[in-house]
Structure 1
Amino acid sequence: MRLMRKLGVALAAAALVAAVPAPASAASDDIAPGAWEPAPQGGFELPAGARCDFAVQVEPTVDEVRKLTLSTYPDGSPRREIYAGDLIDRVTNLETGATSTADASGTAMIDYGTDGSMTWYVTGPVLIGFRENGGNLPKGLWIIDGQFVLQFSATGQRTLTMLHGTTHNVCTDVD
């Protein structure tokens, strides 16, 4: 029942995201508290064995992700945020040069714990890496699509609770 209540909050947040337009662009100095702001995702490289059996690079080709801070802790750090916007990543096998694109344009409401933990309530696709023995999915770079909750412990352990959707290991696309 608790999961259903939290999912209801996530779906309400997704509806809010759809109803509130993100700004076309804004410099960070021009952003008022509580306003949508750019949230660039940036690229990264991982060595062989970290997520895929080979070295991999993930680079956004489209990054229109924005975030809205809904609440903060007394020190000003975020307590709850919503992330939304188009994000298309190019995934490259650095050993063979094989590439694939991954649509990670989901909407997520994220609750941040004071201990470094996070809980994501997600609708739509996201690209998430799981390390060996790092959660309840095998090692890989996963497109998780649908409606789900993803919990990150303070130590980085990841627990996926899928309400409805699919998982796909992008490592297999560039192997």
Structure 2
Amino acid sequence: MRRTALATPALAAVLVGTQPASAQPAKGWEPAPSAPWDVGAGVRCDFPVHGQPVVDEVVRRVLSAYPDGSVRRVAYRGDLVVRVTNTETGASYDADASGSAVVEHRPDGSQLWTVLGPVLVGVGQDQGSLPRGLYLVDGVYTLDISPTGYKSVRLLHGTTDDLCARID
């Protein structure tokens, strides 16, 4: 089973450091499309990078909400392939980020991702347990994002694939 997590509004949150919008718990799955994104040279890779979903069948289901209606826990699944492009050279790689995840949004703005399968993780300089870069993390793991955006990846069983090196 290969499903997705980060390249939904939540992927945008991981890559650019924003938070997904609040929502009431839903009874079923709803579309969670991913927007194209850009990061400048030196932010993730030594060169500017563009991400464009080429397959996006991601859905989400709000599992619980806080009393104010904001999301507490949400599940993501669905096929997602993102074309990651070095915009200086045109080199690209189609990253299959079709993992699944349950994301806990904490009151302090931090998030805990419990993930199975591949998702994209962008890490800024000195902002994570991985060096600055853009990674396809695959396996069974957690991603803990602090209120300041620091990302700690804890692999139970898995791999990291440096996408900057693939498109350099």
TM-score, length-scaled by structure 1: 0.81
State the structure with more CA Rg: 1
Alignment of 1:32-111 (within 5 A): 33-111=26-104
Amino acid across the alignment from 1:167: T
Aligned counterpart, 1:131: 124
CA–CA distance in 2 between the matches of 1:33 and 1:56?
Answer: 34
Name the aligned partner's letter for residue 163 of structure 1. L
- Determine the C-alpha separation between the residues in 1 that align with 2:143 and 2:92: 27
State the shift of 1:106 in Å: 0.2
Q: Take 1:100 and 1:160, find their aligned partners in 2: how far apart are those partners?
A: 22
Q: Are positions 1:174 and 2:167 aligned together?
A: yes
Contact 2:117 2:139 in 1 (8 A): yes
The aligned residue for residue 165 of structure 1 is: 158
Q: So what's the TM-score if we normalise by structure 2?
A: 0.84
In the alignment, structure 1 residue 155 sits paired with structure 2 residue 140: no
Moved over 2 A (4+): none
Which runs of no fewer than 5 residues in structure 1 stay unpaired? 1-13, 18-31
Q: Which residue of 2 aligns with 1:122?
A: 115
Higher helix share: 1
Q: Unaligned regions of 5+ residues in structure 2, if any?
A: 4-24
1:58 is matched by which residue type in structure 2?
A: G
Which structure is richer in relative contact order (CA contacts within 8 A, separation 6 or more)?
2
Structural RMSD (CA): 1.4
| Percentage of pairs with the same residue | 49
Counterpart contact for 2:102–2:115, Cα < 8 Å = yes
Q: Secondary structure at the match of 1:50?
A: coil
